[in-house]
Amino acid sequence: MLEIKNVTFRRGNKLLLENASARLENGYRTGLIGRNGAGKTSLFQLITGILHEELGAVNLEIQRQHIAYLEQALPHSNEAALEYVKSGDYAWANIQADLKKAEKEEDGLLIAQCYTDLQTIDGFTIDARASQILDGLGFTQEAFQKPVSSFSGGWQMRLQLARTLIAPADFLLLDEPTNHLDIEAILWLENWLQQKKMFDINDFS
């Protein structure tokens, strides 16, 4: 559940929210619509804790590290596209870091635990899951191994979206997710969101 209670917030001298309140229950899929500069992105950043309200409160029942948030910012990475997207699954990425350390230290018990943890989070299917998302967003198989920095800005934003979608989050915030998408990718995203079981808010303005 998300509750915004009597929130006042301004950026510089511009008042964006004044005594604003809203309540969204678990399972809601909500679109946020408003003109440019109205404060949609700022509201998202209040929810994620990047920004802080002057008055009132923003309350979430889940921990903020369980939020997947698509920002309107280009990625800075030279990783291959597939690897970059896979790292968006933070649970998988954390286990991989532990596994790499365990193998370096030849810690058999920790290695075994890492493989057990991977099984628990369905980590062995991550290549298939990442490939499915990339394919849905219009990437070719050949593009999977290209470095992120080699793509144009629009395609980098698609990679950013893919990385957000693969995250094992309880709460999904997408800031203008259809920017840079063609109609086929938009239809795929709509279908993906309909099937995804989580509490999400999308800015489609």
| pLDDT, tens digit, 9 for 90 and up, residues 116-172 | 999 999 999 999 999 999 999 999 999 999 999 999 999 999 999 999 999 988 888
> Is pLDDT at 98 greater than 60 in this prediction?
yes
Same domain, 121 and 25: no
Same domain, 123 and 46: no
pLDDT at 204: 47
Within-domain flag for 204: no
Split into its structural domains, the chain has a count of: 2
Same domain, 149 and 62: no
Same domain, 100 and 178: yes
Q: How confident is the model at residue 197 (pLDDT cuts 50, 70, 90)?
A: low
Same domain, 151 and 105: yes
Within-domain flag for 55: yes
Same domain, 27 and 113: no
> Is pLDDT at 103 greater than 50 in this prediction?
yes
**What mean pLDDT comes out for the span 64-83?**
87
Tell me the average pLDDT of the chain. 90
pLDDT one-digit tens code per residue, 165-183: 999 888 889 998 998 899 9
pLDDT one-digit tens code per residue, 30-61: 888 888 888 889 999 998 888 999 999 998 87
Within-domain flag for 41: yes
Same domain, 173 and 112: yes
- Domain of residue 59 covers 2-68
Within-domain flag for 205: no
Question: Residue 134: which CATH number?
Answer: 3.40.50.300
Same domain, 115 and 173: yes
Same domain, 78 and 63: no
Q: How confident is the model at residue 71 (pLDDT cuts 50, 70, 90)?
A: confident
Within-domain flag for 203: no
Domain end call among 68, 102, 118: 68
pLDDT at 202: 57
Rounded to whole angstroms, how far apart are CA atoms 55 and 52?
A: 9
Same domain, 89 and 190: yes
> Is pLDDT at 5 greater than 90 in this prediction?
yes
Within-domain flag for 103: yes
Same domain, 47 and 14: yes
